[in-house]
Amino acid sequence: MSRALLSYRIGAIVRHVVSTARERARAALTAEILESARGQLATVGAAALSLRAVARDLGLASSALYRYFASRDELLTALIIEGYDAIGAAAEAADVPTAQPRTRWHAICAAVRAWALAHPHEYALLYGSPVPGYAAPQDTVAAAGRVGTALGRVLGDAARAGVLPPAEHRRTSLVTPAAAEALGGEHPDLDDAVRARALLTWSSVYGLISFELFGHFAGVVTDLDAFFTEQVGELADLLGL
Amino acid sequence: MSRALLSYRIGAIVRHVVSTARERARAALTAEILESARGQLATVGAAALSLRAVARDLGLASSALYRYFASRDELLTALIIEGYDAIGAAAEAADVPTAQPRTRWHAICAAVRAWALAHPHEYALLYGSPVPGYAAPQDTVAAAGRVGTALGRVLGDAARAGVLPPAEHRRTSLVTPAAAEALGGEHPDLDDAVRARALLTWSSVYGLISFELFGHFAGVVTDLDAFFTEQVGELADLLGL
DNA sequence: CGCTCGACGAGAGCGGTGCTCTCGTTCTGG
DNA sequence: CCAGAACGAGAGCACCGCTCTCGTCGAGCG
């Protein structure tokens, strides 16, 4: 079932450069399906996304869609990957590598929040409750790490610039080697405690955005914009940026 | 449509103490419906919760359920209120008012996480993406504040005990008066900045739990238990407990 | 005490869903 | 040129939430 998705992602590009008419038609229709699904996701949300509605939108029989996506879950998976890519790109676009680490941290967090507010349903699909019995395929985890990696770059640069407080070395590590690599890589000022703190701050930003988006701050916080930037500043303090 | 729910919640209790047989039967069946729905929620999740399955489970026609809950959303609302009550009760049960504020903070956070891990689908229903076009009725917000209020009590007690750092007073408030009341009430050491920080830490705990539960820490964090307690400690530092 | 009206549960049915299977067509690589 | 794969349409299955009707039964009122 991941076959079809894979062929969508790399598809005719890898196979051979001279694509046949059929392959081009397939790629085009796949893109159209995704576009329609993306529109439906943005308007009615993931739970109400209907294969039949997509088919109607494109003037196709519903059964025809199954030539392109083996199931509704697979279509959702493609949308999830697109979403992670989009929010990751937003984070990267907001990052100015020459700026101060703290400025960069603020910029990335603001960009992620802005993307979430602009695409609430997509954000919910990425970071909200996983859908029914849906288990995120391995394909998604690579794309998912893009925002974290952007923040990790800031952390690594800050460590190299020497703005981080000295690390408190300890024996057992709480962070996976792979994750440590994404979170700044090798550096004496970046030990496990600092990296774990980076994960905390990142998940805290996610908590702030989710609470705001899912309505848990309604009637609690007066100025959501000011509140967010202030708390992101607090997290920067905690991180040592 | 909120009539039926209301009558379920207060129902015969308020009307008159001497309940008729019909009222008792109604209350009993309502409880059975909720119990079956709770079971289904725990096993298949909210998105796959089916009124017809509940009816089958109870040996009823599906249409009969509509005498008790006007819609699937209303049944979900009742489950959400139950969930908020349960996680609030877990938080309150874990709190030992005579202990140190920091100890209480740790205990409450651990209890909330434990409840979330034990009831993942319920937690997702409460704090994950809102379901389809579902807008949380006002009934839920009261129950939702219970965990926050428990944490607010710790904050207030800490302020009265004088363990909090002095507050930095400012003009414009980011926290609603109602929320400020729940977050420790009146106290000179508890100004808006401290209360906002309390909201930050609470949403951070939510972020930590959600990332863990929704799989965003898979392959990133090695020891989730140890990681959580350590980061909760970091948040206590940030809060000044 | 009897009657009336409301609550109740069953059943059929509507329009919707994801998904499967079959069948004729159309393109493509050998 | 032609066999076989890819394709789209259509019918159909089992399920969903929800509505409507209809017969029944109980509870409160006169």
**What percent of chain A has a predicted confidence (pLDDT) above 70?**
89
Q: Between A213 and B143, where is the model more confident?
A: A213
pLDDT-derived band of residue A16, with 50, 70 and 90 as boundaries? Answer: very low
- Kindly compute the dihedral angle of the four CA atoms of residues A201, A203, A209, A212, in this order, to the nearest 10 degrees: -100
Question: Nearest C-alpha of chain B: how many angstroms from A222?
Answer: 5
Is pLDDT of B83 > 70? yes
Structure tokens at B110: 């651990």
> What pLDDT was estimated at residue A131?
55
Mean pLDDT of B7-27: 58
- From residue A182, give the alpha-carbon distance in Å to each of A151, A152, A238, B230: 9, 6, 20, 21
> What pLDDT was estimated at residue B8?
38
How many beta carbons lie within 10 A of that of residue B190, not counting itself? 22
| Domain hosting residue B46, numbered range | 2-70
Mean pLDDT of B51-56: 98
Which range (A104-118, B1-15, B86-100, B134-148) has the least confidence?
B1-15
Query: What is the SS3 assignment for B175?
Result: strand
Beta-carbon separation of B218 and A179 below 8 A = no
A60 lies in the same domain as A82: no
CB-CB neighbors (< 8 A) of B220 in chain A: 175-176, 178-179, 199
Tell me the C-alpha distance between A105 and A91, whole Å. Answer: 10
Which of A50, A129, A176 is best to mutate for the B interface (most B CBs within 10 A)? Answer: A129
> What pLDDT was estimated at residue B189?
78
Is pLDDT of A33 > 50? yes
Which range (A28-42, B166-180, B227-241) has the least confidence?
B166-180
Mean pLDDT of A80-92: 96
Is pLDDT of B116 > 50? yes
> What pLDDT was estimated at residue A81?
94
A81 lies in the same domain as A135: yes
> What pLDDT was estimated at residue A34?
98
**What percent of chain A has a predicted confidence (pLDDT) above 90?**
72
A204 lies in the same domain as A153: yes
Which of B216, B227, B229, B241 is best to mutate for the A interface (most A CBs within 10 A)? Answer: B216
Q: Between B196 and A167, where is the model more confident?
A: B196
Question: Nearest C-alpha of chain B: how many angstroms from A12?
Answer: 32
pLDDT-derived band of residue B1, with 50, 70 and 90 as boundaries? Answer: very low
Is pLDDT of A8 > 50? no
Is pLDDT of A161 > 80? yes
A60 lies in the same domain as A86: no
> What pLDDT was estimated at residue A17?
54
> What pLDDT was estimated at residue B148?
94
Mean pLDDT of A46-59: 96
Say how many residues make up chain B: 241
A59 lies in the same domain as A89: no
Nearest to B124 among A129, A203, A238 (CB): A129
CB-CB neighbors (< 8 A) of A183 in chain B: none
Is pLDDT of A7 > 50? no
pLDDT-derived band of residue B25, with 50, 70 and 90 as boundaries? Answer: confident
Residue of B nearest to A204 (CA): B204
Q: Which of A11, A36, A70 is the last residue of a domain?
A: A70
Is pLDDT of B216 > 70? yes
A61 lies in the same domain as A166: no
Structure tokens at B50: 């089916």
Helices A101-118 and A138-161 meet at what angle, rounded to 10? 150
Is pLDDT of A154 > 80? yes
Q: Which of A42, A70, A98 is the last residue of a domain?
A: A70
Which of A204, A211, A232 is best to mutate for the B interface (most B CBs within 10 A)? Answer: A204
Measure the CA angle with vertex A57, ends A126 and A86; round to 5°.
Answer: 25
Measure the CA angle with vertex A230, ends A197 and B104; round to 5°.
Answer: 55
Question: Nearest C-alpha of chain A: how many angstroms from B200?
Answer: 6
Nearest to B220 among A179, A218, A227 (CB): A179
Q: Which of B70, B99, B118 is the last residue of a domain?
A: B70
B87 lies in the same domain as B65: no
Residue in A225, A220, A238 with CA at minimum distance from that of residue B183: A220
- Kindly compute the dihedral angle of the four CA atoms of residues B132, B136, B140, B141, in this order, to the nearest 10 degrees: 130
B184 lies in the same domain as B225: yes
Structure tokens at A128: 């909200």
Beta-carbon separation of B203 and A199 below 8 A = no
Residue B221 sits at φ, ψ, to 5 deg, of -110, 135
CB-CB neighbors (< 8 A) of A200 in chain B: 204, 208, 231, 234-235
> How would you write chain A as a 3-class SS string?
CHHHHHHHHCHHHHHCCCCCHHHHHHHHHHHHHHHHHHHHHHHHCCCCCCHHHHHHHHCCCHHHHHHCCCCHHHHHHHHHHHHHHHHHHHHHHHCCCCCCHHHHHHHHHHHHHHHHHHCHHHHHHHHCCCCCCCCCCHHHHHHHHHHHHHHHHHHHHHHHHCCCCCCCCCCCCCECHHHHHHCCCCCCCCCHHHHHHHHHHHHHHHHHHHHHHCCCCCCCECCHHHHHHHHHHHHHHHHCC
> What's the whole-number average pLDDT of chain A?
88
Q: Between A141 and A72, where is the model more confident?
A: A72
Residue B56's contacts (CB-CB under 8 Å, 6 or more residues apart) are B62
Is pLDDT of A5 > 50? no
B54 lies in the same domain as B121: no
Q: Between A14 and B157, where is the model more confident?
A: B157
pLDDT-derived band of residue B6, with 50, 70 and 90 as boundaries? Answer: very low
Q: Between A133 and B239, where is the model more confident?
A: B239
B65 lies in the same domain as B86: no
Total number of domains in chain B: 2
B177 lies in the same domain as B218: yes
> What pLDDT was estimated at residue A230?
97
Q: Between B201 and A11, where is the model more confident?
A: B201
DSSP state of B218: T
> What pLDDT was estimated at residue A110?
98
Contact of B78 with B36, CB cutoff 8 Å: no
Tell me the C-alpha distance between A208 and A220, whole Å. Answer: 13
Q: pLDDT by residue (tens digit) across A202-216?
A: 999 999 999 999 999
> What's the whole-number average pLDDT of chain B?
88
Is pLDDT of A167 > 90? no
How many beta carbons lie within 10 A of that of residue B223, not counting itself? 13
A184 lies in the same domain as A94: yes
